[in-house]
């Protein structure tokens, strides 16, 4: 009897084990199925888009148009949440700590710029965030005070070479894209400006308009109105190619400056761990949204071009390719942000 009981118990245990194993497999299958369904149905609620810059600037402009375009593709609200400060690193840090479910995304500048400016950042954006798609590309404009004798890029370079530190350059802030563009220009052209740091592009532009400073490297949104009114004179773009959004202004290469190209871009990022299916939905919504009727024209008003990536992989490769030039620009600018 004792042996029969043992054998029976063993048989029951085996049956129980098989039932438990089958139940576990069934449960896992259901979890995977519901997970896939949830991703296929994404999104089911509003999406928060974190932006590391204040309202009213070029980045805010890009963010709001992009949010509207994505919203139309996904049929949910995409709400811009401005988290300005520390060159965009605050927003980057916030995004890296949010749930990786696709309901919080970020519009950010390339990580290389943040990492170069903030060597003591405390976290690595490349390891904490995943790129989705590039959104916009903008060149900067080299403008001069109206009473200067400079009508071409070569006019400026020739004078600056003969008169180092005599031309005052208005910068929109330490470590800003215009600051980096002017520093890289000095290196490429072999010139030296006396650079004055202002708190923002508006103050820098006003200084150049009144003649306190003579030259300025500016984002299009900062100076487009002044160019149309004739209060400032454009002499070149900071890019090696012309911009469809800013017709009539020659590229730096056309002006005789080789090995110089400085633009600024923004892209969509998500926290690491976001499901591939969700990233694909966001990529499709972003790239298709940017091609909606009227979006390109709205960007062009601010002197910006839409620049949707061909794939997430292409965006990642592009970021890696441009990183060395960003590090070099920061190093040559001497910009240090603690």
* CATH number of the domain to which 152 belongs: 3.40.190.10
Does residue 150 share a domain with residue 231? yes
Closest-CA residue to 322 (of 222, 177, 151): 177
**Apex CA 175: angle with CA 210 and CA 314, to 5°?**
120
Do 211 and 227 fall into the same domain? yes
Same domain, 155 and 134: no
| Residue at which a domain ends, from 203, 237, 271 | 237
Same domain, 154 and 210: yes
Same domain for 84 and 160: no
Same domain as 277, residue 130: yes
Residues 119 and 174 in one domain: no
Q: Give me the average pLDDT of each 10-residue run along the chain (338 residues).
A: 47 50 52 50 96 84 96 98 86 96 96 85 90 96 96 97 97 84 92 91 93 96 91 96 91 94 94 97 98 95 92 96 86 69
Return the pLDDT at 172.
86
Please check whether residue 338 lies inside any domain of the structure: no
**Cβ neighbours for 121, distance < 8 A, ≥ 6 positions apart:** 89, 114, 115
Assess if residue 37 is contained within a domain.
Answer: no
Classify residue 202: in a domain, yes or no.
Answer: yes
The pLDDT value recorded for residue 1 is 41
pTM, to two decimals: 0.78
User: For residue 98, what is the domain's CATH number?
Assistant: 3.40.190.150
- Establish if 6 belongs to a structural domain: no
Range of the domain at 111: 47-138+263-333
Do 169 and 311 sit in the same domain of this protein?
Answer: no
Same domain, 173 and 121: no
3-state secondary structure 204-218: HHHHHHHCCCCEEEE
Classify residue 252: in a domain, yes or no. no
pLDDT confidence of residue 101: 97
Asked whether residue 28 is assigned to any structural domain, the reply reads no
In a domain, 7, yes or no: no
> Do 145 and 230 fall within a single domain?
yes
Query: Does residue 199 share a domain with residue 129?
Result: no
Asked if 157 and 191 count as a contact pair (C-beta separation under 8 A), the reply is yes
**pLDDT value of residue 177:** 85
Give a yes or no: residue 107 inside a domain: yes
Closest CA to 103 of 278, 230, 290: 278
Same domain, 233 and 145: yes
Task: Work out how many domains the chain is built from and give that number.
Answer: 2
């Amino acid at each position: 009897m004792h042996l029969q009981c043992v054998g029976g118990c063993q048989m029951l245990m085996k049956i129980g084990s098989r039932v438990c194993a089958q139940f576990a497999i069934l449960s896992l299958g259901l979890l995977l199925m519901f997970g896939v369904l949830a991703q296929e149905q994404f999104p089911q609620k509003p999406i928060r888009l974190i932006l590391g810059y204040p309202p009213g600037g070029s980045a805010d402009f890009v963010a709001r148009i992009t949010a509207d375009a994505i919203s139309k593709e996904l049929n949910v609200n995409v709400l811009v949440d401005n988290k300005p400060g520390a060159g965009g690193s605050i927003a980057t840090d916030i995004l890296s700590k949010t749930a990786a479910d696709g309901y919080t995304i970020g519009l950010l500048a390339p990580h290389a710029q943040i990492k170069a400016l903030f060597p003591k950042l405390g976290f690595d954006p490349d390891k904490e965030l995943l790129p989705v798609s590039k959104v916009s590309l903008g060149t900067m404009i080299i403008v001069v005070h109206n009473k200067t004798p400079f009508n071409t890029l070569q006019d400026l370079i020739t004078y600056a070479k003969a008169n180092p530190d005599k031309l005052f350059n208005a910068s929109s802030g330490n470590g800003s894209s215009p600051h980096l563009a002017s520093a890289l220009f000095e290196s490429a052209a072999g010139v030296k400006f006396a650079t004055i740091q202002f708190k923002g592009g508006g103050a820098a532009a006003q200084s150049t308009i009144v003649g306190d400073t003579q030259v300025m490297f500016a984002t299009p949104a900062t100076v487009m109105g002044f160019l149309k009114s004739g209060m400032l004179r454009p002499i070149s773009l900071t890019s090696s190619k012309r911009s469809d959004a800013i017709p009539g202004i020659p590229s730096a290469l056309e002006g005789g400056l080789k090995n110089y190209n400085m633009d600024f871009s923004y892209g969509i990022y998500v926290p690491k761990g976001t499901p591939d299916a969700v990233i694909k939905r966001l990529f499709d919504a972003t790239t298709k949204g940017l091609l909606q009727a009227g979006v390109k024209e709205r960007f062009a008003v601010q002197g910006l071009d839409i620049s949707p990536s061909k794939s997430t992989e292409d965006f990642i490769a592009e970021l890696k390719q441009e990183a060395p030039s960003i590090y070099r620009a920061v190093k040559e600018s001497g910009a240090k942000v603690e």
